[in-house]
Amino acid sequence: MKRLLLIFHSQSGHTRRLAEAAAAGAAELEDEIELRVRDARAATLDDLLWAQGLLLGTPENFGYMSGALKDFMDRTYYAAEGKTIGLPYAVFISCDNDGRGAVSAIERIATGYGWRQIAAALICRGEVTPEHEAQARELGQTLAAGLTLGLF
């Protein structure tokens, strides 16, 4: 079994819907994937060190990732230093009209952890649509499938 961690934060529920879709995509490989889903405020260093793959979901707030996801990184960055090198990860964002600030902030910090991005960031603008949910589902599936096939 490969271990996949999904960490997200959502204030009004949009990112939560994407997270549920991404989790459903990963769960399609339930025989081979152990999935752990955590609200960013409850996610811990132990969760991160447990993971062999990581999905991160956040709204864009003020041109940045949500404070809750940033807090997770603040709490784990130095404690995880050198211990998550090469961790394959992917990002999904819910936002009104931009999303790029959140993506670039996450990518910059992920580089510091030494993580490896396995897919372009998924940016979902405006109301969450069935197409957004399908894309999030595919992202979860892609990471899970890549893990089980040993591609990452």
**Binding residues vs ligand FMN (CB under 6 A):** 10-16, 59-63, 94-99
CB of 36 to ligand FMN, least distance (A): 20
DSSP 64-101: EE-HHHHHHHHHHTTTTTTTSTT-EEEEEEEESS--HH
Nearer to ligand FMN (CB atom), residue 16 or residue 38: 16
Instruction: Say if CB 152 and CB 118 are below 8 A apart.
Output: yes
Q: Nearest approach, Cβ of 90 to ligand FMN (angstroms)?
A: 17
**Structure tokens given for 134:** 């399908």
Q: How far from the centroid of its chain's Cα atoms is residue 5's Cα?
A: 8
Looking at the Cβ atoms of 16 and 70, the one nearer to ligand FMN is: 16
* Shortest distance, position 61 Cβ to ligand FMN, whole Å: 4
Query: In the complex with ligand FMN, which residue's Cβ is closer, 129 or 149?
Result: 129
Q: Give the nearer residue to ligand FMN in terms of CB position, either 13 or 112.
A: 13
| Number of C-beta neighbours around residue 105 at 10 A | 18
> What's the CA gap between 151 and 147, in Å, rounded?
6
Least CB distance to ligand FMN at residue 109 (A):
18
